Amino acid sequence: MRRLAVALFSLCLALPAMAADAARPERKEVFGDVTVHYNAFSSSMLQPQIATNVGVQRSKNQGVLNIAVLKAGKPAMAVVSGTVKDLTGRSSPLSFRQVNDGGAVGYIAQFKIEQPETLVFDLNVETGGVSHKLSFSQEVFPGQ
């Protein structure tokens, strides 16, 4: 009975998160002339050479959060920080590092994926001395 109650409680928490995820299919947030693109996925989706080039550990239980910041349509330098939490409220800090690729600038952080679940990402993106906060949820799955 207790497991059923926990499962129902988790489902109640998950529904608004999934609805919020569906509400922003473009995976971006716009703050005036600053646009923040984001996506989370299993690191096992990366080709081995690409993972090596960007310093990502490939594993079925490791996710990657990829952030790109544009200012007036051009790649912009930023300081990105944040946390990831599951629907039970267990939170972990994200450690971002900058990745440069042919003029494009991105920021990546890795996180654990223990099971198929919806995770909530709370981020702070600072560019040009101005901080922008955003939060989104995304369903993630362990890789193959």
42-69 mean pLDDT: 94
pLDDT at 5 over 60: no
Which residue range(s) make up the domain with 101?
2-140
Please tell me the total number of residues recorded for the chain in this structure: 144
Residue 7's pLDDT band, with cuts at 50, 70 and 90, is very low
Q: How many domains does the chain have?
A: 1
- What CATH number does residue 31 fall under? 2.60.40.3340
Given a contact cutoff of 8 angstroms between Cβ atoms, the answer to whether 41 and 144 are in contact is no
Place of tokens 């960007």: 54
pLDDT at 20 over 50: no
Residue 143's pLDDT band, with cuts at 50, 70 and 90, is confident
In the chain, what percentage of residues exceed pLDDT 90?
73
Residue 23's pLDDT band, with cuts at 50, 70 and 90, is low
pLDDT of residue 11: 31
* Cα 6 to the center of its chain, rounded Å: 26
DSSP H helical ranges for 24-88: 48-54
Question: What helix, strand, coil percent values describe the chain, rounded to 5?
Answer: 20, 50, 30
